[in-house]
Structure 1
């Protein structure tokens, strides 16, 4: 597949997207100091859905209509929002936000595997197989090989985050199979609105009626991860996708963890063991091999 080149504008928006998503891990962890994980997710999906509804009305874009479409959007909302947001928010109660971001980068690894299983045109080549294998070695190293031997709450939190990345990967396949042709902003709004409809009763049953946060930092965190790292980020995501293609968009996966690690260290004094950084380095190598451009460039140079 030919890669679209990255223009300076596409680079700038890609970096901005990485900054927004990288900062979301700190914002979510800050909000969790005062509110529960389900309440945090409800605020994220609800506020973002309202913002995107406003964008749709301003642009006079089409609103999703019909039970069939809403059921497909519900599936997307479950796989792309309800399940991963909830698992990762709960996981962040027990592991550093930087480690959560590193594990989140495995979404691309699981996405390649799932696509190979579901779509005929996404077969698992030797190059992709090597990238996936290195990625899994990186994850194992980041978690720590002894984590499962002494299984505890931290181990469970790490597995919860990984389960969230599997859900993200399933969402990618679901979106390709079920939502092709739907305008991006309409799809994002419908997905988040459906997710909010699921999160509301779950939150009320599990955590009770949400109370208004007392701390300004909590309000700032919620507004950031809902307004900027979700609503605005989805708009940026589709802009970069249109300008640079899905292959270049994969680069955002490499931008997010360093930002999350740096913010967690500076603001919350989080520390990660050396094995986490080594695991991330292996994961980056796996993602670079999956992307394939460096290998193609090297092959081109060797033929000159």
Structure 2
């Protein structure tokens, strides 16, 4: 992790962290399914142009069941669940709960891969993460089923979906030529799914025309949090590897929280801060990578 790699990681944190802010702004005028339709549809168009400019070929669609799975698990389901959740909970809390994705990945990889079994440290990580979620959702769960509790469960469902997509891509897409091509294919499949669904359910042409702020947020979600974020992510993986690139999980919630507090007037309860701390400890415990990097950066041996 040299200076350039840290710079890429910080840029990626900002790009993915702003997605929660952009969604909150879009929800002022657009329903969740329309937001997802715009994001995947416009991202697919941009990525197709990007792939064409790079001279890459579209993946062989004989693997369409896999791309269907990736489009659903990596785009349609998590985007829709998070947009639904942010109708009733803050972007800060949504960002914190989504940080549980690697913890779900530990459990899924243990049961569906042969070379990523859960170790004692990974089990401890999952338990810490579960404690963090319990700390944040405890009051809502104690008072019975509520809109806020459903929203928090939706965020966890989005995290589970992201983790499932990661395991699916690892198992079945090892031979594809380019992560960019695979991403473009999955966004195209996601767009094919979401466009008719959103048009049928939301009937967006009947809605009032959104103002410039909402359109700016939509452009930001598509270009910054999706298209450009993928470019940075691919560069980071090429430079330091996929597992180290996942350090971004530590910083995305902080970006979402900062933007929510500064620009949206959100506040965090003590339970949310405690939960975020426990989830961060769980992420750090997965393999100790973050602690080793911090100690190395500080000159500790």
TM bucket (normalised to shorter chain) is over 0.9
CA contact (8 A) 2:43 2:227 kept: yes
1:154 aligns with 2:148: yes
Matched with 1:218 is: 214
Question: Structure 1, residues 249-270: CA drift from partner, whole Å, max 9, x if none?
Answer: 1210111111111111111111
Following superposition, the deviation at residue 299 of structure 1 comes to 12
CA contact (8 A) 1:35 1:213 kept: no
In 2, the alpha carbon distance for the partners of 1:233 and 1:299 equals 28
Following superposition, the deviation at residue 65 of structure 1 comes to 2.9
CA contact (8 A) 2:140 2:149 kept: no
Question: Structure 1, residues 222-245: CA drift from partner, whole Å, max 9, x if none?
Answer: 000111101111121121111111
CA contact (8 A) 2:41 2:195 kept: no
What CA RMSD, in Å, does the superposition of the two structures yield over aligned residues?
1.9
In 1, the alpha carbon distance for the partners of 2:290 and 2:83 equals 35
Shift in CA distance, 153/118, structure 1 to aligned 2, threshold 3 Å? same
Mapping of residues 114-125 of structure 1, within 5 Å: 114-125=108-119
Following superposition, the deviation at residue 70 of structure 1 comes to 2.4
Shift in CA distance, 82/148, structure 1 to aligned 2, threshold 3 Å? farther
Shift in CA distance, 50/133, structure 1 to aligned 2, threshold 3 Å? same
Indicate the SS of the match to 1:64.
coil
90-99 or 242-251: which moved more? 242-251
CA contact (8 A) 2:5 2:236 kept: yes
Mapping of residues 276-287 of structure 1, within 5 Å: 276-287=272-283
Could you tell me the TM-score, scaled by structure 1's length? 0.92
Mapping of residues 72-83 of structure 1, within 5 Å: 72-83=66-77
Give the number of equivalent residue pairs. 295
Following superposition, the deviation at residue 281 of structure 1 comes to 0.5
1:259 aligns with 2:250: no
CA contact (8 A) 2:15 2:225 kept: yes
In 1, the alpha carbon distance for the partners of 2:41 and 2:168 equals 22
Shift in CA distance, 193/269, structure 1 to aligned 2, threshold 3 Å? same
CA contact (8 A) 1:148 1:155 kept: no
Question: Structure 1, residues 163-200: CA drift from partner, whole Å, max 9, x if none?
Answer: 11111111011111222222111011001010000001
Mapping of residues 236-247 of structure 1, within 5 Å: 236-247=232-243
> Which residue of 20, 24, 34 corresponds with 1:25?
20
In 1, the alpha carbon distance for the partners of 2:233 and 2:263 equals 27
Matched with 1:3 is: none
Following superposition, the deviation at residue 294 of structure 1 comes to 5.8
Following superposition, the deviation at residue 214 of structure 1 comes to 2.8
Question: Mind listing any 5+ residue stretches in structure 1 that lack a counterpart?
Answer: 1-5
Question: Structure 1, residues 12-31: CA drift from partner, whole Å, max 9, x if none?
Answer: 01100000111110111101
Matched with 2:164 is: 170
Shift in CA distance, 216/133, structure 1 to aligned 2, threshold 3 Å? same
Matched with 2:182 is: 187
CA contact (8 A) 2:247 2:290 kept: no
In 2, the alpha carbon distance for the partners of 1:222 and 1:146 equals 31
Shift in CA distance, 7/139, structure 1 to aligned 2, threshold 3 Å? same
1:58 aligns with 2:53: yes
Mapping of residues 194-233 of structure 1, within 5 Å: 194-210=189-205, 213-233=209-229
Mapping of residues 62-101 of structure 1, within 5 Å: 62-66=57-61, 68-101=62-95
Indicate the SS of the match to 1:181.
coil
